[in-house]
Homo-oligomer: A and B are copies of this chain.
Amino acid sequence: MAIIVKKFGGTSVGSIELIRNIARRIATGHQPGDSLVLVVSAMAKTTDDLVQLAYGISDHPSRRELDMLLTAGERISMSLLSLALQEEGFASISFTGSQSGIITDDKHGNARILNVNAFRIHEELAKGKIVIVAGFQGVSQSKEITTLGRGGSDTSAVALACYLKAERCEIFTDVDGVFTADPRCVENPWLLQEIGYNEMLALSYSGSKVMHPRAVEFACKYRIPVEVKSSFTFAPGTMIHTIEHKQGKNMEERKITAIAHKEKLLGYVLERSEALIGLLKNWHDEIFKYFVEDGRIELIIEDKYAGEVNYALEQNHIPVLRKDLGIGYVTLVGLGINLDPGWLAATLEVCVPFGVSRIQHSDQTIELMLPSAEVKNCVQALHNAFLGENK
């Protein structure tokens, strides 16, 4: 009897109707005897609303109390989903992160998972119940309630799948899976049936919003097969797993798998200083890219972090030598593409019109920096050139 972990994000549990839809279709796509563990986020916007309430009271609310407040969000969605399942005739029980045994360190607001003691989940599964777990939250070793930071629910789901030795983890979301490029940006993208762990890690790191890089990293490290699929249609989506490349013709061919982008970025050019190095130690998702040259440190961040980054730099008296606005990044991902400089040549040819100011690379990525306003056109042009026809 296999255990399947299914995770439903905020938009998937965004209304009573959507929650009922999940309850009605929960048995889709697996064997009747399988055990189900459902990980839920807070209903769409709940977390943002709660954050806003807190900032209405304090400009810099205590992280501990903020965690206490925010964890109310999943408590609401998980109990509603449990009620909906019971209405459909299923036996179910909901657990907080703490009740589920998700043990974290004590970094409020951005805790990391240390261990999972899932005996209560196992007990309830043994009784034939569907277990619903609050994503995004855990408990520290000193019994304080913590939250896992951005991408937290995905990370909860993948970590639970790992500890429960689940057959797979299914991430239900508001898109059909992982596409060759963002469908909101490109005309003719196609759904990838499967993608390897490391390519998915590069893709999510470079702007694909389907899964948070931290959750992909977890899946990659512990080899948890993850399926990303639509919570509206429950149709087959994209499998993230170890790809079985078949032996066949043209085995050394190198291909672009997909294109990711980030559109709204800022660049800070800063003098190297001990204060800055101290700050770097406490940052996580804030830094998208860094680039150090001749003692100056350039940090590229998403504009949503501008407030906190500005505040931190000011508080630590770190002067900003230059601030660049309106930066975009487009990243081509494909295993081994930089063992063949022909891909750089082809990229340069396609990108003439888009004002690309910088190109860097790793062994499996080519990364273009360009003005925000050119990002969509550039992604479309690269997609036409390298991914125009479905295989």
A residues adjacent to B (C-beta < 8 A): 112-116, 159, 162-163, 198, 201-202, 205, 213-214, 217-218, 220-223, 242, 244-245, 247-252, 272, 277-278, 280-287, 289-294, 297, 335-336, 338-342, 344-346, 348-349, 356-365
Are B251 and A113 touching (Cβ within 8 A)?
Answer: yes
Are B283 and A341 touching (Cβ within 8 A)?
Answer: yes
Are A363 and B213 touching (Cβ within 8 A)?
Answer: yes
Contacts of A284 in B (CB 8 A): 339-341
Are A342 and B280 touching (Cβ within 8 A)?
Answer: yes
A283 to B341, CA, bound (A): 6
Contacts of A213 in B (CB 8 A): 336, 339, 363
> Given A217-B336, A221-B335, does the pair A280, B245 have CB atoms closer than 8 Å?
no
What distance in Å separates the Cβ of A121 from its nearest Cβ neighbour in chain B? 14
Contacts of A294 in B (CB 8 A): 357-358
Are A341 and B287 touching (Cβ within 8 A)?
Answer: yes
What distance in Å separates the Cβ of A285 from its nearest Cβ neighbour in chain B? 8
A201 to B217, CA, bound (A): 17
- The 22 sampled A-B contact pairs (Cβ below 8 Å) are A115-B248, A159-B251, A162-B251, A198-B364, A202-B363, A205-B338, A205-B339, A213-B339, A214-B252, A217-B336, A217-B339, A221-B251, A222-B251, A223-B242, A281-B341, A281-B342, A281-B346, A284-B339, A292-B356, A292-B359, A294-B357, A297-B348
> Given A336-B201, A345-B281, does the pair A247, B218 have CB atoms closer than 8 Å?
no
Smallest CB gap from A340: residue in B? B284
A307 to B47, CA, bound (A): 61
Are A335 and B217 touching (Cβ within 8 A)?
Answer: yes
Contacts of A336 in B (CB 8 A): 201, 213-214, 217, 220-221
Are A359 and B290 touching (Cβ within 8 A)?
Answer: yes
Please name the 8 residue pairs, one residue from A and one from B, whose CB atoms are nearest each other, closest first: A362-B362, A292-B359, A280-B345, A217-B336, A112-B252, A280-B341, A198-B198, A205-B363
Contacts of A286 in B (CB 8 A): 341
A116 to B287, CA, bound (A): 46
Are B250 and A361 touching (Cβ within 8 A)?
Answer: no
Contacts of A362 in B (CB 8 A): 202, 362-365
What distance in Å separates the Cβ of A371 from its nearest Cβ neighbour in chain B? 13
A250 to B213, CA, bound (A): 18
Smallest CB gap from A284: residue in B? B340
Q: A214-B252, A283-B341 are in contact. List 19 more A-B contacts (CB 8 A).
A: A113-B252, A114-B250, A114-B252, A198-B364, A202-B362, A205-B338, A217-B335, A220-B335, A221-B335, A222-B247, A280-B342, A280-B344, A281-B341, A282-B342, A284-B339, A284-B340, A284-B341, A287-B344, A293-B359
Smallest CB gap from A165: residue in B? B247
What distance in Å separates the Cβ of A313 from its nearest Cβ neighbour in chain B? 14
Are A251 and B290 touching (Cβ within 8 A)?
Answer: no
Are A245 and B272 touching (Cβ within 8 A)?
Answer: no
A248 to B289, CA, bound (A): 31
A99 to B18, CA, bound (A): 63
Q: State which of B198, B221, B245 has its C-beta within 8 Å of the C-beta of A245.
A: B221
What distance in Å separates the Cβ of A301 from its nearest Cβ neighbour in chain B? 11
Residue in A163, A286, A290, A349 whose Cβ sees the most chain B Cβ within 10 Å: A290
What distance in Å separates the Cβ of A370 from its nearest Cβ neighbour in chain B? 11
Are B277 and A349 touching (Cβ within 8 A)?
Answer: yes
